[in-house]
């Protein structure tokens, strides 16, 4: 558990059993847990191939409760007079089943939704039945978007149009008048506060989103002039996602609460203060202000938010508003686990090196061989320098046709074994020379795994986001290999070489030696937020299989939803291939080969059958 930090990042949802299996258990009772490898067995028995995305309904339920209870506890303990009404920003994971489940589990807290486009609003209006929960409409709004929102208000939804640009107000008022609906309006403001983390540009004066203070005044005056100030009920800001430092959150809330108070003093009815997203997830378990972590927990976040709002309102003698937050990541990150199998491994050591080299071996290879034989604790730096020197000379000789491919291959074997020997002796040194500190990492195995980084964990590639990666079985055996992970996209960026650590970032991951004829399964955790929708079709690897699971709390589970991943035919159609045309032209090609006497008519039949099987197949490596 320590090696992979499961106790640190797992929020007690994940543990390791005595038999070395990764257990998922969102319940307080120990017997409620289920082994992930057991679930994977069940998935494969039903004919689903790896990779598979597992979604755990109970975790989503638990996370919604956790956030709402934390806010409600803070409200009660601080005697705050307003209430909390969270909304889930559906951009974080818009999959129908996710939205459906959030609408279901959120109902008891009147947890609503934030949308940023027409499509998202339609998705929410079809899934959300709770009229007491809020719908927050951010983003740029055309008249179609506005009409949909106005009709939602007519249907009884508590919907707010949040103004991103001053020009939107006029259109909203006009459409409202036309449809006979009084709109609820909010303003999105730009704070001067800027937070640390990946998404710092969402906040601060130069943020591309929201209104500066003079634009807010412009809107206030416009609403007053039109006699519609009664529509202005909400103020919103969003500082950025995954804010690691609680101080930044506090400073922003204080600044925003002051603006809110001023809007009330200007005569707007207000009532709602929307603090956006940003509640971070502790991906690396370090509980620090690293970008993949946070130096606070959910309870502290809620207390700090409520306290800050309260202090400003009490000071300005303003009623405590209803507080909205748009936490996405914190609600859904824990919900999904991606599981894949390992297809192959490349190792960089322990080759079969002959005792002696043949007489005719080129001089520089013989020299490298001498260095190799003489490695000792006394000459590690020197051996390393010499190894690099001869390796470069040998490469030059090869480029100038002075050595053969076989000789070059031999020199590579000697080189890697030499590096292995040097690295094996390093621990005997009191002071490791800086150049040699990372030598172990250079020797790391490459574990080739059956998934696409770009499809399933795009943030790992795009912004170096760290995710916990852990084998889901054999955890009672010592992992004897250090590895980096390569996906199957054949893109040199399709590699994971940064792993979570409590103090730093690790360049390799401890993994187990593969066993012949036994699959090895690895889980990537906390992938429920952003990864599914941001993922793309690089190399035409499509959506993975998805299986949703409900645990019964007594150690059993059921599959409540199974979604077949994309087939080859599906992904080809996404990139504009018409599969009918594809079939026709492939058949034509095969017929031409028959006519040319290259294949028989019977062979054409077999070729067409394998073409069809290929089209129907999963885009990932199938057994």
H/E element holding 419? helix 405-425
**CA distance readout (Å), 321 to 66, 75, 121, 542:** 21, 12, 25, 45
| β-bridge pairing 232-236 and 336-346 | unpaired
Does 186 bind ligand PLP (CB under 6 A)? Our answer is no
Closest separation in Å from C-beta 561 to ligand PLP: 24
Q: Which two tokens stand for residue 234?
A: 């909400």
Does 329 bind ligand PLP (CB under 6 A)? Our answer is yes
Closest separation in Å from C-beta 87 to ligand PLP: 8
- Extended strands (E) in 80-188: 87-89, 112-115, 134-137, 158-163, 185-188
- Closer to ligand PLP by CB, 199 or 618: give it: 199
Does 112 bind ligand PLP (CB under 6 A)? Our answer is no
**464 in Cβ contact with 513 (< 8 Å):** no
Does 92 bind ligand PLP (CB under 6 A)? Our answer is yes
**591 in Cβ contact with 604 (< 8 Å):** yes
Closest separation in Å from C-beta 279 to ligand PLP: 5
16-24, 120-128, 328-336, 340-348 -> range binding ligand PLP (CB under 6 A):
328-336
Does 241 bind ligand PLP (CB under 6 A)? Our answer is yes
Does 255 bind ligand PLP (CB under 6 A)? Our answer is no
- Closer to ligand PLP by CB, 277 or 362: give it: 277
Q: Which two tokens stand for residue 453?
A: 């980084």
Does 531 bind ligand PLP (CB under 6 A)? Our answer is no
- Closer to ligand PLP by CB, 32 or 89: give it: 89
3-state secondary structure of 228: coil
Residues 379-408 close enough to bind ligand PLP by CB under 6 A? none
Closest separation in Å from C-beta 501 to ligand PLP: 23
Residues 6+ apart with CB under 8 A from 602: none
Closest separation in Å from C-beta 112 to ligand PLP: 13
Distance separating alpha carbons of residues 112 and 405, to the nearest angstrom: 65
DSSP H stretches of helix in 334-379: 363-373
Q: Find the helix packing angle between 213-225 and 246-265, rounded to 10°.
A: 30
Does 542 bind ligand PLP (CB under 6 A)? Our answer is no
Closest separation in Å from C-beta 436 to ligand PLP: 41
Does 183 bind ligand PLP (CB under 6 A)? Our answer is no
Q: Which two tokens stand for residue 311?
A: 């202090």
- Closer to ligand PLP by CB, 326 or 459: give it: 326
Q: Tell me: cis bond preceding 202? Omega within 30 of 0 counts.
A: no
Does 33 bind ligand PLP (CB under 6 A)? Our answer is no
Does 195 bind ligand PLP (CB under 6 A)? Our answer is no
Count of residues that interact with ligand PLP, criterion CB under 6 A: 17
Residues 500-529 close enough to bind ligand PLP by CB under 6 A? 529
Candidates 86, 149, 276, 523: give the one binding ligand PLP (CB under 6 A). 276
Q: Find the helix packing angle between 213-225 and 168-179, rounded to 10°.
A: 30
Catalytic residue among 137, 302, 449, 490: 490
Candidates 278, 468, 471, 494: give the one binding ligand PLP (CB under 6 A). 278
Does 64 bind ligand PLP (CB under 6 A)? Our answer is no
Candidates 158, 327, 465, 508: give the one binding ligand PLP (CB under 6 A). 327
H/E element holding 533? helix 531-534
- Closer to ligand PLP by CB, 183 or 328: give it: 328
DSSP track, 245-279: -HHHHHHHHHHHHHHHHHHHHTT----EEE--S-B
Radius of gyration of the chain (CA): 30
Task: Respond yes or no: is residue 490 known to be catalytic.
Answer: yes
**287 in Cβ contact with 293 (< 8 Å):** yes
Residue with CB nearest ligand PLP? 277
- Closer to ligand PLP by CB, 300 or 316: give it: 300
Distance separating alpha carbons of residues 93 and 151, to the nearest angstrom: 25
DSSP assignment letter at 582 = H
Binding mask 211-240 for ligand PLP (x = CB under 6 A): ---------------------------x--
H/E element holding 508? none
- Extended strands (E) in 444-507: 445-449, 469-471, 481-486, 495-496
- Closer to ligand PLP by CB, 93 or 158: give it: 93
| β-bridge pairing 521-524 and 134-137 | unpaired
Distance separating alpha carbons of residues 623 and 153, to the nearest angstrom: 52
Does 244 bind ligand PLP (CB under 6 A)? Our answer is no
CA 301: distance to chain centroid? 22
- Closer to ligand PLP by CB, 91 or 498: give it: 91
Does 114 bind ligand PLP (CB under 6 A)? Our answer is yes
**546 in Cβ contact with 43 (< 8 Å):** no
Does 279 bind ligand PLP (CB under 6 A)? Our answer is yes
Candidates 8, 25, 93, 242: give the one binding ligand PLP (CB under 6 A). 242
Candidates 26, 51, 89, 458: give the one binding ligand PLP (CB under 6 A). 89
The residue ranges that bind ligand PLP (CB under 6 A) are 89, 92, 114, 138, 238, 241-242, 276-279, 326-330, 529
Cite the active site residues: 490
């Amino acid at each position: 558990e320590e090696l992979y930090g499961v106790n640190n990042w797992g929020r007690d949802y994940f543990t390791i059993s005595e038999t070395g299996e990764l257990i998922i258990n969102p319940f307080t009772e120990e017997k409620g847990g289920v082994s992930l490898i057991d679930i994977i067995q069940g998935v494969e028995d039903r004919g689903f191939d790896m990779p598979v995305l597992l979604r755990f309904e109970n975790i989503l339920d638990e996370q919604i409760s956790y956030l709402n209870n934390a806010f409600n506890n803070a409200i009660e303990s601080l005697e705050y007079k307003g209430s909390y009404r969270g909304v889930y920003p559906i951009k974080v994971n818009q999959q129908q089943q996710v939205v459906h489940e959030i609408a279901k589990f959120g109902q008891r807290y009147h947890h609503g939704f934030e949308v940023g486009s027409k499509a998202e609003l339609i998705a929410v209006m079809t899934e959300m039945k709770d009229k007491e929960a809020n719908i927050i409409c951010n983003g740029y709004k055309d008249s179609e978007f506005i009409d949909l929102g106005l009709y939602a208000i007519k249907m009884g939804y508590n919907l707010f149009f949040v103004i991103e640009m001053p020009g939107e107000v006029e259109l909203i008022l006009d459409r409202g008048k036309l449809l006979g609906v009084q709109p609820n309006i909010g303003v999105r403001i730009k704070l001067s506060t800027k937070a640390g983390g990946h998404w710092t540009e969402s906040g601060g004066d130069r943020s591309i989103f929201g209104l500066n203070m003079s634009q807010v005044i412009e809107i206030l005056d416009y609403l007053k002039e039109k006699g519609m100030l009664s529509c202005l009920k909400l103020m919103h800001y969003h500082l950025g996602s995954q804010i690691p430092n609680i101080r930044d959150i506090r400073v922003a809330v204080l600044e925003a609460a002051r603006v809110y108070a001023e809007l009330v003093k200007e005569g707007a009815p207000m009532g709602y203060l929307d603090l956006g997203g940003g509640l971070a997830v502790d991906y690396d378990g370090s509980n620090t202000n690293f970008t993949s972590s946070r130096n606070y927990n959910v309870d502290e976040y809620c207390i700090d938010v409520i306290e800050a709002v309260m202090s400003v309102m009490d000071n300005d003698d303003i009623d405590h508003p209803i507080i909205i937050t748009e936490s996405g990541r914190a609600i859904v990150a824990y919900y999904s686990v991606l599981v894949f199998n390992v297809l192959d491994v490349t190792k960089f050591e322990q080759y079969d090196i002959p005792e002696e080299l043949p007489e005719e071996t080129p001089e520089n290879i013989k020299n490298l061989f001498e260095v190799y034989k003489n490695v000792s604790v006394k000459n590690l730096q020197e051996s390393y320098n010499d190894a690099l020197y001869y390796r470069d000379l040998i490469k030059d000789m090869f480029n100038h046709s002075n050595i053969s491919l076989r000789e070059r291959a031999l020199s590579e074997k000697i080189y890697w074994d030499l590096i292995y020997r040097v690295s094996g002796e390093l621990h005997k040194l009191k002071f490791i020379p800086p150049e040699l500190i990372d030598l172990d990492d250079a020797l790391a195995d490459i574990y080739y795994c059956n998934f696409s980084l770009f499809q399933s964990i795009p943030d790992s590639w795009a912004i170096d986001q760290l995710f916990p990666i852990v084998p889901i079985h054999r955890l009672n055996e010592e992992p004897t290999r250090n590895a980096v992970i390569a996906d199957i996209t054949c893109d040199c960026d399709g590699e994971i070489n940064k792993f979570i650590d409590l103090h730093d970032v690790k360049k390799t991951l401890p993994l187990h030696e593969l066993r012949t004829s036994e699959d090895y399964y690895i889980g990537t955790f906390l992938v429920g937020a952003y990864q599914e929708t941001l993922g793309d079709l690089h190399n035409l690897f499509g959506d993975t299989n998805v299986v949703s699971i409900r645990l019964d709390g007594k150690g059993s589970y059921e599959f409540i939803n199974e979604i077949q991943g994309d087939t080859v035919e599906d992904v080809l159609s996404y990139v504009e291939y018409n599969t009918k045309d594809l079939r026709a032209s492939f058949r034509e090609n095969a017929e031409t080969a028959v006519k040319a006497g290259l294949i028989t008519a019977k062979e054409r039949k077999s070729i067409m059958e394998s073409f069809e099987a290929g089209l129907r197949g999963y885009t990932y490596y199938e057994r």
